[in-house]
Chains A and B, each alone.
Chain A
Amino acid sequence: MIRTWLLFTAGALGLVACQQAHAQDMSVSGVLIDGAGWQLVGQGYKFTEGPAVDLQGQVYFTDIPNNRIHKIGLDDQVTVFADNTAGTNGLMFGPDGLLYGCRNGDRRIVTYDKQAQVQTVVEDLNSNDLVVTGNGGVYVTDPPGGKVWYINKQREKRVVAEGLKPNGVILWPDQGTLVVTDSAEPILWTFRVERDGSLSQKDRYYGPLQLPAGGGGPGSDGMTVDTLGRLYVTTRVGLQMFDPTGRLGGTILKPQPGALSNVCFGGPELDTLYVTAGDKVYKRRVQSRGVRYPAAN
């Protein structure tokens, strides 16, 4: 009886309740922990990018000009994982346990295994950042070409979006929606993911981003998502957090002036934000949790 009544009430009041829920906010106060600020993890790099978390919660990142990939152990010790990485930029672990990388110096998408042995996934494309689906498909941004590529499990590549200036790329936790940053736009492009990996229904769903007061674009770059569907995007003014309906919930301050290029959740519980910020890497414990993409049916 109670259940029936609740269902009836929910139906009758649904629309108004829906409006009220939409009008409520998801602010950064629901993400940050009082007293838990940014902590320096590593420094002395030239330009850090591509943070990616493995199954244990260890975070890998690239130092692009120095052609290295580093690993942050669970004890916060930073070691060199790979050398001579040919300008490898964006990274992410796939469901096969391999570390996928945008090896832009030789125009390849590659995987690194645990011994940092390199295998080519596809070649002959520019790349900046990538996201690997739970089924092993890969979306890759190609800023010079103004394209987004999709690589299927058979390792065939094709263009799935054009006519934008893509930079970072991420999937929603359920992988049904793909989001792409555009360094020239104060919004994030949003697409529906089709079964064959195609992208459809492009629109300016997230926005507007906060812009630097002195002028210029947002400088939006790498992104990550949490279990509640909130999206975090690195920008010139800081780490901007959006709710699942595309509304800015607030900006988390940068750990230091200068570049903020990318972000991921790390640690065994995926409850720590890691950001790449120019010559350094920082982390910060938060209330939210990162996601791993499950394999679809």
Chain B
Amino acid sequence: MLAEWTMFRTGRSLIMKTMLAGCALASLTNVTYAADDYVLGPDSQVQPGVPQGTVTKHTWKSEKVYPGTERDYWIYVPKQYDGSQPASVMVFQDGGAYVNPEGQFRSTIVFDNLIHKKEMPVTIGIFLNPGVIPATEPNAKPRQNRSFEYDSLGDQYARFLLEEILPEVGRTYKLTDQASQRAICGISSGGICAWTVAWERPDAFSKVLSHVGSFTNIRGGHVYHALIRKTERKPIRVFLQDGSGDLDNVHGSWPLANQEMAAALKFAKYDYRFEFGDGGHNGKHGGALLPESLRWLWRNDDAR
């Protein structure tokens, strides 16, 4: 990959950059580094004195919307939640990756820090893995439902959240029913999934965060940019992240597809932000940007 000369960008640490460059720097502004070397900032690290929320693991067997599927999911509850008022909600697809405190996103640590600083509201995080339908016989392969659930257009996944998951979590925690206080996030196919949920049900989800989103022709999602231009604007706030090193395969070009999305969102005057870096198909850039993207998504909302 090409080295580049640049100023710092959001989420990149000077110290790390210096180390990566082998401490052989002529000046602070002329820093040579490889592409896709995004690193996590302080809001993605555990900070002393910041209350830490709790994370519990659960399983869900769907009988209605995705019959026969089984999945793990995790619920993050911030320390500041006391049940006196409904909490805001953010749903993550591929939840296991987002909830991992040592992964590329460390979402619960970011939540702890941002909620503590009142840069986002008291928010319960729901981290869902995709479903699997186990085969009857042990030697037969399960049906992996991830692509079906995430890449398909239509309202099936939104119904899964609204008819199964949110009511289930809502049995234990007081959750908002306001679209303005519900956000949804995902990476790759989970990214287009997050967009699809808000596109189908903007009355239920108003904030979307997409990391290297698959707005390509896996199952027809390449049409969204065209639909956005020719459909009355929906009340959705959306943060897209992608990179020039993202995939280019039989389903499409991820960098071009995300640029098409951004251009269409601009054309249709959406409340959107597009961060296009030099990363590949991974969560490095999105992880480094997570605190900033959450601040942007939740801005102007009451931080309780």
- Which A residues are within 8 Å of any B CB, using their own CB? 12, 15-16, 19-20, 22-27, 29, 172, 174-177, 190, 192-195, 200-205, 207-208, 229, 244-250, 296-297
Contacts and interface: CB of A to CB of B under 8 A. Distances in A.
Contacts of B148: 203-205, 245-246
Given A192-B133, A200-B68, A297-B139, 19 more contacts: A15-B96, A15-B100, A16-B283, A19-B188, A19-B190, A23-B189, A23-B214, A174-B139, A176-B136, A176-B137, A177-B141, A177-B143, A190-B143, A192-B136, A192-B143, A193-B136, A200-B67, A203-B67, A245-B148
Contacts of A249: 250
Given A20-B282, A192-B68, A245-B147, A25 B139 contact: no
A27 B250 contact: yes
**B contact patch SS:** loop
A195 to B, nearest CB: 6
Contacts of A195: 136-137
A26 B147 CA distance: 14
A202 B187 CA distance: 27
A17 to B, nearest CB: 10
Contact of B251 (A16, A247, A297): A247
B249 interface: yes
B97 interface: yes
Contacts of B140: 172, 174-177, 193
Given A175-B140, A247-B219, A250-B250, A23 B67 contact: no
Contacts of A297: 137, 139
B113 to A, nearest CB: 22
B143 A22 contact: no
A27 B219 contact: no
Contacts of B251: 25, 247
A16 B104 contact: yes
Contacts of A23: 188-189, 214, 247, 281
25 contacts: A16-B282, A19-B189, A22-B188, A23-B188, A27-B250, A172-B140, A172-B141, A174-B139, A174-B140, A175-B137, A175-B140, A190-B143, A192-B136, A192-B143, A193-B135, A193-B140, A201-B67, A201-B68, A201-B143, A207-B219, A208-B219, A208-B220, A245-B146, A247-B219, A247-B251
Contacts of A175: 137, 140
Contacts of B188: 19-20, 22-23
Given A20-B282, A176-B136, A192-B68, A244 B97 contact: no
A205 B100 CA distance: 29
Nearest to B95: A15
Nearest to A296: B137
A249 B151 CA distance: 14
B281 to A, nearest CB: 6
A24 B67 CA distance: 27
Given A16-B97, A174-B140, A200-B68, A22 B250 contact: no
Given A25-B249, A27-B250, A247-B251, A19 B68 contact: no
Contacts of A250: 250
Interface in B206-257: 214, 218-220, 247, 249-251
Contacts of A248: 219
A202 B141 contact: no
Contacts of B143: 177, 190, 192, 201, 205
Given A176-B136, A195-B136, A27 B249 contact: yes
A7 B96 CA distance: 18
Nearest to A20: B281
